[in-house]
Amino acid sequence: MKLGTVELDDGTTTVVVETDSETVVLEGYQDLDALIAAGEDTWRTAAGQALNDGARLNRDEFQWLPPVRRPGKVLCVALNNSANPDRIKSGPDTPAMFTKPSSSLLGHGRSIIVKDMYGRVHPEPELAVVIGRGGADIAVDEALAHVFGYTIINDLTSPTMRGTDTFNYRAIHPAPEEAGGTRYVDSWVSYPARYKGADTFGPLGPWVTTAEDLPDPHALRITCSHNGRIVTDDSTANLRFSVAEVISFASHYLTLEPGDIIAMGTALKASAQGGAVQNVDLVELGGTVEVAIEGIGTLSNPVEKR
Amino acid sequence: MKLGTVELDDGTTTVVVETDSETVVLEGYQDLDALIAAGEDTWRTAAGQALNDGARLNRDEFQWLPPVRRPGKVLCVALNNSANPDRIKSGPDTPAMFTKPSSSLLGHGRSIIVKDMYGRVHPEPELAVVIGRGGADIAVDEALAHVFGYTIINDLTSPTMRGTDTFNYRAIHPAPEEAGGTRYVDSWVSYPARYKGADTFGPLGPWVTTAEDLPDPHALRITCSHNGRIVTDDSTANLRFSVAEVISFASHYLTLEPGDIIAMGTALKASAQGGAVQNVDLVELGGTVEVAIEGIGTLSNPVEKR
């Protein structure tokens, strides 16, 4: 089943059920945040009832919103692709993660806004997991039971702002030879709020495919296109850490809550004609960027320069 | 005026007004998130009415919660202290920022939970700004009008996990000499979700002092104590970028929303007897950590090891 959140012409918002031919209103919930929080029994009953007798929407009567509008966190896994190992000179053997703020999320069809002061901005196509049942210290073999469903995220990134917000500095460390003393240690640290979290840097959707319709989230073709040309053509089979491994690992540090989003990391494999998302500078090129994942759909956003 | 959020013995939550002698229930709002969203006229009227006739709570009838329980974002400024310049070998001349997830927030008096697998964990005492009126592209001289008030955050940090989640890697950059080509650039990048965002890594409170009671947020003594010993004794006068500068800069990239928290960066100056928060390893030492800011109050949390 596919469930999403839309804005109607009168400015109100509602959950919808998307079928192959129709977009059906699910009454009583203004977004998936609220429906997921209501629990599995409730959403299954409400969705079934909507399919029976819910109002049908015409395509010109609504706009898509991020299916979860204000998740507690959008947790993103970095460098999680099997194409990465030769690129990594040193790094963790566990998932490394950052968060994107909910204010960066954007619905399907809405405009990505870029500005000259952002420098370069490129797309990153990723599978996104939507948490249904929260929890901490979740075991790997229990992890998929916490998944509500899957959607698509375009983890927009500015390598220019990443470079700017990277420090080479002298970190203060304890001095082992002197009680209470300190010493400087040459360190690098980078801060992602701007380069990953600027407004509209998180296209999400169009909807969520519930977990029972995607029993194997690691066998899905994932592509990224710019102006109709396929740049990335990869498979979720190439994720280094699996959905279950990431959920389990993350939950030992950060309690997961219903509606939390986990972005699984960038698909990287070049398409047959070659390509790299790093060359798709949306500030210079504009156009329309699409991320498609088998069994979910296509997330498409035009770029608008301000 | 001081406004906070508490949990009552029956598990319900409510906004309270804190006076010098009393904690008074402000009816009708389950947290400051809701009261701030209701707007300035509403909160002023509701707070005045509470002081007139609200129920008085005994200290043993409630526990403090983070005053804003689920902010859209907790935006934190890095290395924003005038003590820093000699430590920075290269870095931006604008505020560098990361986000902490709302799931990391913790109320005054509640236990910071640490685990051996976190490695070292130290406190970082900071002034926190609470946004009242949202906005984008806010001018510096308009910025303070967007402030609801000020509170205290203890920006707990694990330097061990910071080190683990730092990559030295070959970033993919466009190759300037070849259309569509790429080249590798040796880069460092670090990801803060674990080392800044683990559960209980964001003690916040006890309450918010509204902006009119702190007309100059840059003249406040700020201290950090461990088991009663003052480690840091600094002033918000030593912030490198001011509250207005940070609000303005951030809002040109990330739209600010009512209830958003901005942590202004770590106070660093050692106390008269000397000290550095980096030596206060809460995993090894346990105990109680306190951050006090003049005109706001004292945020105190015991440490519990699991």
Question: pLDDT tens digits for chain A (306 residues)?
Answer: 999 999 999 999 999 999 999 999 999 999 999 999 999 999 999 999 999 999 999 999 999 999 999 999 999 999 998 876 778 899 999 999 999 999 999 999 999 999 999 999 999 999 999 999 999 999 999 999 999 999 999 999 999 999 999 999 888 888 877 778 888 888 899 999 999 999 999 999 999 999 999 999 999 999 999 999 999 999 999 999 999 999 999 999 999 999 999 999 999 899 988 889 999 999 999 999 999 999 999 999 999 999
> Nearest to residue B26, comparing CAs of B69, B75, B67?
B67
Q: Is residue B297 part of a domain?
A: yes
Q: Which two tokens stand for residue B143?
A: 């910025």
Gap between the Cα atoms of B156 and B190, Å rounded = 17
For tokens 């939507």, the residue is: A130
Note if the pTM is more than 0.95: yes
What would the pLDDT profile of A47-93 be if each residue is shown by its tens digit?
999 999 999 999 999 999 999 999 999 999 999 988 767 788 999 99
For A65, other C-beta atoms within 10 Å of its C-beta total 25
Confidence of residue B84 (pLDDT cuts 50, 70, 90): low
Domain that holds residue B41: 1-65
Q: Which of B65, B88, B104 is the last residue of a domain?
A: B65
Say if B43 falls within a structural domain. yes
Q: How far, CA to CA in Å, does B49 sit from each of A133, A245, B20, B253, B259?
A: 40, 52, 17, 38, 22
> How many whole angstroms separate alpha carbon B257 and alpha carbon B135?
7
Q: Tell me which residue has tokens 């491994």.
A: A245
Q: Are residues A106 and A157 in the same domain?
A: yes
Q: Would you tell me which residues 4-23 of chain B have a C-beta closer than 8 angstroms to some C-beta of chain A?
A: none
**Vertex B139 angle, CA B134 and B142, to 5°:** 70
Taking the CA of residue B22 and the nearest CA in chain A, the distance in Å comes to 33
Q: Chain A contact for B281, CB < 8 A?
A: yes
Cα A22 from Cα A19, distance rounded (Å): 5
Which of A76, A84, A253 is nearest residue B194 as measured by Cβ atoms?
Answer: A253
- CATH (domain of A156): 3.90.850.10
Helices and strands counted in chain B (H then E): 6, 20
Give the A window 36-75 contacts with B, CB below 8 Å. Answer: 70, 72-73, 75
Helix (H, G, I), strand (E, B) or coil at B66: coil
In a domain, A174, yes or no: no
Q: Say if A182 falls within a structural domain.
A: no
pLDDT of residue B174: 87
| Residues of B whose CB is below 8 A from A181 | 279
Q: Testing the interface with A: which of B74, B89, B191 to mutate, by most A Cβ within 10 A?
A: B191
Q: Is the ipTM of this complex over 0.85?
A: yes
Do residue B98 and residue A172 have CB atoms under 8 angstroms apart?
A: no
Say which of B70, B170, B172 has its CB closest to residue A72. B70
Of A73, A180, A279, the CB nearest to B103: A73
Paired sense of beta strands A74-77 and A261-263, if any: parallel
Residues 6+ apart with CB under 8 A from A4: A15, A16, A18, A32, A64, A65, A67, A205, A206, A207, A208
According to the model, what pLDDT value does residue B230 have?
97
Beta-carbon contacts of B33 under 8 Å, excluding residues fewer than 6 positions away, are B68, B69, B70, B71, B259
Tell me which chain A residue has its CA closest to the CA of residue B202: A254
Task: Tell me how close the Cα of B273 comes to any Cα of chain A, in angstroms.
Answer: 11
Half-sphere exposure of A273 (CA within 13 A, CB side): 8
> Given an 8 Å threshold on Cβ–Cβ distance, is B87 in contact with A172?
yes
B116 in the same domain as B12: no
Residues A225 and A262 in one domain: yes
CB contact, 8 Å: A198 with chain B?
yes
Q: Are residues B127 and B141 in the same domain?
A: yes
Best residue in A68, A69, A70, A73 to probe B by mutation, most B CBs within 10 Å? A73
Q: Is A239 on the interface with B (CB under 8 A)?
A: no
pLDDT digits over B216-267, tens only?
Answer: 999 999 999 999 999 999 999 999 999 999 999 999 999 999 999 999 999 9
Is the same domain home to A27 and A106?
A: no
Strand partners, B114: B305
CA pair distance A153, A99, nearest whole angstrom: 13
Q: Domain end: B26, B42, B65, which one?
A: B65
Of A252, A250, A275, A249, whose CA–CA distance to A260 is shortest?
Answer: A250
Å between A52 CA and nearest CA of chain B: 36
* B3 CA: distance to closest CA in chain A (Å): 23
If asked whether residues A42 and A149 sit together in one domain, one would say: no
What is the predicted pLDDT for the residue at A171? 85
Asked whether residue A169 is domain-assigned, the answer is no
Do A154 and A14 reside in the same domain of the chain?
Answer: no
| Measured distance CA(B116)–CA(B139) in Å, rounded | 45
> So what's the pLDDT on residue A82?
81
Same domain for A16 and A44, yes or no, is: yes
> What value does the mean pLDDT of chain B take?
96
Domain boundary (B40, B65, B90) is at B65
If asked whether residues B227 and B286 sit together in one domain, one would say: yes
Within 10 Å of residue B189's Cβ, how many Cβ atoms?
23
> Do B290 and B257 sit in the same domain of this protein?
yes
In sequence order, the β-bridge partners of residue B97 are B77
DSSP letter for A165, please: T
Best residue of B189, B224, B279, B282 to probe chain A, by most A CBs closer than 10 Å: B189
**Residue B269 C-alpha from the chain's centroid:** 18
Contact B170 A96 (CB under 8 A): no
Whether A183 is in a domain gets the answer no
Task: For residue range B192-206, list pLDDT tens digits in order.
Answer: 999 999 999 999 999
Identify which of A165, A255, A275 has the shortest CB distance to residue B92. Answer: A165
**pLDDT confidence tier of residue B156, bands split at 50, 70 and 90:** very high
pLDDT at A84: 65
Q: How far is A78 from chain B (nearest CA, A)?
A: 8
- Mean pLDDT, all residues of chain A: 96
Identify whether B179 is part of a domain: no
Partners of B172 on chain A (C-beta within 8 Å) are: 87, 276, 278
B173 contacts in chain A (CB < 8 Å): 159, 278
- Asked if residue A50 belongs to a domain, the reply is yes
**CB B133, CB B146: distance < 8 Å:** yes
pLDDT at position A207: 98
Q: What does the alpha-carbon distance between residue A257 and residue A133 come to, in Å, rounded to a whole number?
A: 7
**Domain shared by B252 and B148, yes or no:** yes
Q: Is the pLDDT of residue B166 over 90?
A: yes
pLDDT tens across B95-110, in order? 999 999 999 999 999 9
Question: Which residue, A238, A182, A264, is CA-closest to B159?
Answer: A182
Report the amino acid identity of residue A254.
Answer: L
Cβ distance B165 to A97 less than 8 Å, yes or no, reads: yes
Query: In total, how many domains does chain B have?
Result: 2
Q: Which residues in chain A have their CB less than 8 angstroms from residue B174's CB?
A: 276, 278-279, 281
Same domain, A294 and A203: yes
Across the interface, whether the CB atoms of A75 and B101 are under 8 A apart is answered yes
CB-CB under 8 Å, B255 with A189? no
Distance from chain centroid for Cα A86:
25
| Residues of chain A found within 8 Å of residue B188, distances taken between Cβ atoms | 166, 168, 188, 190
Structure confidence at residue B146 (pLDDT)? 98
